[in-house]
Chain A
Amino acid sequence: MERSEVLKQFKPDHENMLNILHALQNNNSQNYLSEEDLKIAASYLNTTYSHIYGVATYYTMFSLKPRGKYIIRVCNSPVCNMENSTKVIEEIKKNLSIEVGETTDDMRFTLELSECLGKCEEAPGMMINEDVVGNLDNVDFKSIFDNYN
């Protein structure tokens, strides 16, 4: 979708800033807010570039770097941590050959950490985009990731 089409869904009010940034990020094929995205949002909301940059860098759900098609968010909150999420993270890192915050060379996956996903009964857990995957103690990560192309 053209950026202008995305913006049209919202009134140019300051209170819509976060919704607009989310919509622009979702609309971006690389799952991030490019400088062009930020500038067009600033102009639409009649605010300054530096202000919109401040907002976008404040919230961890926004990325200013291109990300993979699928974002893996491994829960690192206390319950998952007690169920050894550290090991899960290490396994995923090994499997995808990336560090936390990085993206695979084929731009498929980005690995991030997340606060509680609300699925403590299935700890340790993670999200891949909108899908929640739990009980990760002894799983074959490769076969999970193969479902996401």
Chain B
Amino acid sequence: MEKVNVIIDGLNLIAKSGKTILDVATENGIYIPNLCHHPDLIPTGNCRMCMVEVEGRRGQIIACKTPVEDNMIIRTESQDISLIRQTTLELIHSNHIQDCTNCHNNNQCKLQEVTAYVGVNEKRLNSLRRTKPLIEKDESNPFFTLDHNKCITCGICIRTCNEVQGTNALDYGYRGFETVVSTFGNRSIKESVCESCGECVVRCPVGALYPKDEKLPTREVKSVCVYCGVGCNIYFGIRDNKLVSARGDRDSIVNKGRLCVKGRFGFNFVNHPERLTKPLIKKNGEFTEADWEEALDLVAKKFASSKGDKFATLSSAKVPNEDNYVIQKFTRAVMGTNTVDHCARLCHAPTVAGLVQSFGSGAMTNSIDEFTNAATIFSIGSNTTAAHPIIGLHIKEAKRRGAKIIVANPKEIDLCRFADIHLQQLPGTDVVLLMGMMKVIVDEKLEDSGFIKNRCEDYDDFIESLNKFDLDTCEKITRVPKEKIVEAARLYATNKPSSLIFAMGITQHSHGTDNVLAISNLAQLTGSVGKESSGVNPLRGQNNVQGACDMGALPNVYPGYQKVTVPEIQEKFEKYWDVELNADIGLTHTEIFDQIEKGQIKSLYQVGENPVLSEADANHVKKVLDKLDFFVVQDIFFTETAKYADVILPATSFAEKEGTFTNTERRVQRVRKLVDPPGEARDDWQITCGIAKKLGATGFEFNSAEEIMDEINEVAPIYGGIKYNRIEELGLQWPCLDKNHPGTKFLHKDKFSRPGGKGRFFPISYKASAELPDKEYPLILTTDRSLYHFHTSTMSRRVKGLELLNEEELLLINPRDADKLNLKNEELVTVKSRRGAVRVKTNITEICPKGVVSLTFHFHETPTNELTICAIDPVSKIPETKVCAIKIEKTDHNIK
């Protein structure tokens, strides 16, 4: 960038052209008072505090909006400037409640700072001060208060809501003395479209927006959010062994300081009184407290009699890598079976199965911050702003920078507000939609033939399968007008770099792997993979689901995706762990429950999962759990599934342990101990090591999480160089092969990770979903997530504010379907499938198209997964939770 010479207050400075006078002054330690400026926002210059004078220009100019020019001579002070600033400041003060000592923002207030610098004439101020009628504080939001009486109408909150969050909940309303920051209809914050992210609260320069229950902390420690897979970096505030505050780390490449409502305000479950604090043993049907010795003895004794095929472990995508490593090692090395799986089976198993076949690796190919520079972002089957809110912000930022957004989703999700094209396919028809797009690309010769020729194989077989997809058929099956398919295909293929995002809408189908393969075909066809800001990006759901997979909490691979069926790999682990290992691939999540039902599996060891709510056809799961001889649940709360346990072991939460989480972009980040655990809760790895030692095993003598990571470095090549001392500040992205390796920003740069280095095309045919609507069950039920809750809500519903913002399940239904059934809004109805029934209130909305209804699965009172079908994808064994047939009955018909 070009440099210019400027003089500010007599100081000769060199500045980058394009920067504003205020920026240059601030960078050089020269203070210019300002109230409405924020580095994240576009300057508006409405507070009139940053007035300066420039030689040769008339009057005063605004420093925050004026770019520096070569040879500019700037004065930040003069008699005129002082007078203007002082008068303006007095006018602001005349409407501002003087309540400093009692104000949340005392000592951090920008108005105080500016007043100290500019000064006010008290006599004049008192004559100006009007007795403005007090406006009642808006206390409607559970997490923050809006006090209009302290507002200086700088507009930072309004601009934050528009520019950072893209929610547009706020604007100026009314005029003159009556001007207020207002929602649509001047309703309370809670009744507005506000998403409670708190970004406005963070930026409010005065005490007009302030958090409700936050205390100033004694100290702050940086750790990683425990909700979704984005892995936002947070400074948690600690006081009296409790978490009291959270703020985003502005230096983090992942979230750049931003947080969603769960990340910023959702940590209080850690302090919840219902945390498990002592081991519990079921005696005569009642849980009684026990000491660790007794509990571990019992667990070891029972496990000893059910080794091998009789044993299964369900590990956890919520616990750190180190814990997952120990848990899978215990299952393999001590219990003699590869039957260890976790909830990735229910979310991204087809991603791993599909992308490993086509690219050689099942992870996100790009980094999160690369989205911002993409020219086209194609999001399919991902409710990004609800499930991965901070990635949602990256997409919105890309849009502001001129990127085109294509959203393919059966529902009109929030992200559609930013979409240039919305493809509203019928649930379960993604293969047809994607193949239709590829047909257009091939017919119009928009493919990247160089990429296909040099970097891919098996193209001809794929082309043959593509010929079966003509656009008329595609339109008929998907219900997407063919013109839109054409438009989307052209955009994705030509407006590069193109980045593709997908999530559960692609994977949770009985043909989930086909969906993923169709995606990888599309990316290879257009050469949109293996490049910066261009690739295939599955958004992982849980905070450490990527890590749990990496650590080999999967039945077919050891840590680092090393196959259990390869003799050399088995030998390597046998040598390292000094045991004989089982060469047979273990059972998957869904197969485990089948084998329990058949009486084959006798003991189940389950860490941090809640299948009674999360598994498809949940009634089946409940029946099956009753059949177990011995069931150990290791968790932080007494979950719906814990009721079925014989022993419950209290574990530490993310806030009480050291370790690492691997986020969705393969970045391994440090999780740090913030507070002491409640009662006798122990780290998961310590508990598992305790059981192993009771069973006489060796290789479990770890003293710290770091020692476990040292072992991971040795056995998993992709984690070879990930050492704690390297990731204290910024996480490393695998593959990171040795201690000098810088990590990998995006995958498949010059060659794919498949053996041979080529990407592979797959021929694909369309398979309809297992259960389609019919006369008896005429509607399609699809499942979704809420921004305010996470998974089965074990954590989020123990945060009072999140519970208040989303108190109950609502069935989203199109007005035309509601009319046909004569339903009113918020009417209690019974939703029935062939497997179960759930009573829930309606929310009549255009979000759902005709014929499709939607539920989340966050609420135990309305267990959605009692309705869903356990039709599984033959390759990845994922159940089809995105499509099943249901009917709706008015509830008054059912009251007997």
Q: Enumerate chain A interface residues (CB-CB to B < 8 A).
A: 35, 38, 48-54, 57-58
Q: How far is the CB of A56 from chain B (nearest CB, A)?
A: 9
**Bound-complex Cα distance A49 to B417 (A):** 13
Query: Knowing A35-B185, A49-B168 touch, does A54 contact B173 (C-beta < 8 A)?
Result: yes
Chain B residues near A38: list those with CB within 8 A.
Answer: 184
In-complex Cβ contact of B168 among A35, A50, A57, A58 (8 A): A50
Chain A residues near B451: list those with CB within 8 A.
Answer: none
Q: Tell whether, in the assembled complex, residue A51 and residue B175 are in contact, meaning their CB atoms are under 8 Å apart.
A: no
Query: Which 3 residue pairs spanning A and B have beta carbons closest together?
Result: A48-B168, A49-B184, A50-B171
Q: Tell whether, in the assembled complex, residue A51 and residue B174 are in contact, meaning their CB atoms are under 8 Å apart.
A: no
Q: Tell whether, in the assembled complex, residue B173 and residue A53 are in contact, meaning their CB atoms are under 8 Å apart.
A: yes
Q: Tell whether, in the assembled complex, residue B170 and residue A50 are in contact, meaning their CB atoms are under 8 Å apart.
A: yes
**Bound-complex Cα distance A50 to B186 (A):** 9
Q: Tell whether, in the assembled complex, residue B168 and residue A54 are in contact, meaning their CB atoms are under 8 Å apart.
A: no
Query: Knowing A48-B162, A48-B168 touch, does A53 contact B175 (C-beta < 8 A)?
Result: no
B172 proximal to A (CB < 8 A): yes
Query: Knowing A58-B174, A58-B175 touch, does A53 contact B168 (C-beta < 8 A)?
Result: no
Chain A residues near B175: list those with CB within 8 A.
Answer: 57-58
Interface residues on B, range: 10 to 19
Q: A50-B184, A54-B182 are in contact. List 10 more A-B contacts (CB 8 A).
A: A35-B184, A50-B168, A50-B169, A50-B183, A51-B171, A53-B173, A53-B182, A54-B173, A57-B173, A58-B174
B193 proximal to A (CB < 8 A): yes
- Quick one: closest A residue to B174, CB to CB? A57
A-side binding surface: helix, strand, loop or mixed?
A: helix
Which one of B162, B173, B183 has the highest number of Cβ atoms from chain A below 10 Å of its Cβ? B173
**Bound-complex Cα distance A50 to B162 (A):** 10
**Bound-complex Cα distance A78 to B773 (A):** 73
**Bound-complex Cα distance A93 to B168 (A):** 41
Which one of B174, B185, B193 has the highest number of Cβ atoms from chain A below 10 Å of its Cβ? B185
**Bound-complex Cα distance A6 to B220 (A):** 57
- Quick one: closest A residue to B158, CB to CB? A50
Q: How far is the CB of B768 from chain A (nearest CB, A)?
A: 36
Query: How does the 8 Å CB contact mask read for B79-120 relative to A, with 1 for contact and 0 for none?
Result: 000000000000000000000000000000000000000000
**Bound-complex Cα distance A53 to B182 (A):** 9
Which one of B168, B175, B182, B184 has the highest number of Cβ atoms from chain A below 10 Å of its Cβ? B184
Chain B residues near A57: list those with CB within 8 A.
Answer: 173-175, 182, 186
Query: Knowing A48-B162, A49-B193 touch, does A54 contact B171 (C-beta < 8 A)?
Result: yes
Chain B residues near A48: list those with CB within 8 A.
Answer: 162, 168, 171
Selected A-B contacts with CB under 8 Å, 20 pairs: A35-B184, A48-B162, A48-B168, A48-B171, A49-B193, A50-B168, A50-B170, A50-B182, A50-B192, A51-B171, A52-B184, A53-B173, A53-B182, A53-B183, A53-B184, A57-B173, A57-B174, A57-B175, A57-B182, A58-B172
For window 163-219 of B, CB contacts with A under 8 Å fall at: 168-175, 182-186, 192-193
Chain B residues near A54: list those with CB within 8 A.
Answer: 171-173, 182
Q: How far is the CB of A57 from chain B (nearest CB, A)?
A: 5
**Bound-complex Cα distance A52 to B185 (A):** 10
**Bound-complex Cα distance A35 to B186 (A):** 11
- Quick one: closest A residue to B166, CB to CB? A48
Q: How far is the CB of B551 from chain A (nearest CB, A)?
A: 45
Chain B residues near A35: list those with CB within 8 A.
Answer: 184-185
Chain B residues near A53: list those with CB within 8 A.
Answer: 171, 173, 182-186
**Bound-complex Cα distance A57 to B186 (A):** 10
Q: How far is the CB of A51 from chain B (nearest CB, A)?
A: 5
Q: How far is the CB of B399 from chain A (nearest CB, A)?
A: 13
- Quick one: closest A residue to B193, CB to CB? A49
**Bound-complex Cα distance A50 to B184 (A):** 4
Chain A residues near B186: list those with CB within 8 A.
Answer: 53, 57
**Bound-complex Cα distance A57 to B174 (A):** 5
**Bound-complex Cα distance A12 to B193 (A):** 24
- Quick one: closest B residue to A48, CB to CB? B168
**Bound-complex Cα distance A58 to B174 (A):** 5
**Bound-complex Cα distance A53 to B169 (A):** 11
Chain B residues near A51: list those with CB within 8 A.
Answer: 168, 171
Q: How far is the CB of A50 from chain B (nearest CB, A)?
A: 4
Query: How does the 8 Å CB contact mask read for B769-805 relative to A, with 1 for contact and 0 for none?
Result: 0000000000000000000000000000000000000
Q: How far is the CB of B472 from chain A (nearest CB, A)?
A: 31
Chain A residues near B162: list those with CB within 8 A.
Answer: 48
Q: How far is the CB of A138 from chain B (nearest CB, A)?
A: 35
- Quick one: closest B residue to A56, CB to CB? B173
Q: How far is the CB of A64 from chain B (nearest CB, A)?
A: 8
For window 298-315 of B, CB contacts with A under 8 Å fall at: none
**Bound-complex Cα distance A50 to B170 (A):** 6
**Bound-complex Cα distance A49 to B169 (A):** 8
- Quick one: closest B residue to A60, CB to CB? B175
**Bound-complex Cα distance A65 to B186 (A):** 13
Q: How far is the CB of A43 from chain B (nearest CB, A)?
A: 11
Q: How far is the CB of A113 from chain B (nearest CB, A)?
A: 15
- Quick one: closest B residue to A55, CB to CB? B171
- Quick one: closest B residue to A42, CB to CB? B184
Chain A residues near B192: list those with CB within 8 A.
Answer: 50
Chain A residues near B193: list those with CB within 8 A.
Answer: 49
Chain A residues near B171: list those with CB within 8 A.
Answer: 48, 50-51, 53-54
**Bound-complex Cα distance A17 to B173 (A):** 16
Chain A residues near B173: list those with CB within 8 A.
Answer: 53-54, 57-58
For window 142-173 of B, CB contacts with A under 8 Å fall at: 162, 168-173
Q: How far is the CB of B177 from chain A (nearest CB, A)?
A: 13
Q: How far is the CB of A114 from chain B (nearest CB, A)?
A: 16
Q: How far is the CB of A62 from chain B (nearest CB, A)?
A: 11
Q: How far is the CB of A59 from chain B (nearest CB, A)?
A: 8
Chain A residues near B170: list those with CB within 8 A.
Answer: 50
**Bound-complex Cα distance A49 to B168 (A):** 8
**Bound-complex Cα distance A81 to B192 (A):** 42
Chain B residues near A49: list those with CB within 8 A.
Answer: 168, 184, 193
Which one of A35, A50, A53, A57 has the highest number of Cβ atoms from chain B below 10 Å of its Cβ? A50
- Quick one: closest B residue to A39, CB to CB? B184
Q: How far is the CB of B159 from chain A (nearest CB, A)?
A: 12
- Quick one: closest A residue to B178, CB to CB? A57
**Bound-complex Cα distance A48 to B174 (A):** 16
**Bound-complex Cα distance A76 to B175 (A):** 20
**Bound-complex Cα distance A52 to B171 (A):** 9
Q: How far is the CB of A9 from chain B (nearest CB, A)?
A: 25
**Bound-complex Cα distance A38 to B173 (A):** 14
**Bound-complex Cα distance A134 to B186 (A):** 38
Chain A residues near B182: list those with CB within 8 A.
Answer: 50, 53-54, 57
- Quick one: closest A residue to B161, CB to CB? A50
- Quick one: closest B residue to A38, CB to CB? B184
**Bound-complex Cα distance A79 to B354 (A):** 82
Chain B residues near A58: list those with CB within 8 A.
Answer: 172-175
**Bound-complex Cα distance A29 to B187 (A):** 25
**Bound-complex Cα distance A52 to B193 (A):** 15
Which one of B170, B171, B173, B182 has the highest number of Cβ atoms from chain A below 10 Å of its Cβ? B171
**Bound-complex Cα distance A58 to B172 (A):** 9
For window 125-141 of B, CB contacts with A under 8 Å fall at: none
Chain A residues near B169: list those with CB within 8 A.
Answer: 50
**Bound-complex Cα distance A52 to B184 (A):** 8
Chain A residues near B168: list those with CB within 8 A.
Answer: 48-51
**Bound-complex Cα distance A145 to B185 (A):** 33
Q: How far is the CB of A122 from chain B (nearest CB, A)?
A: 30
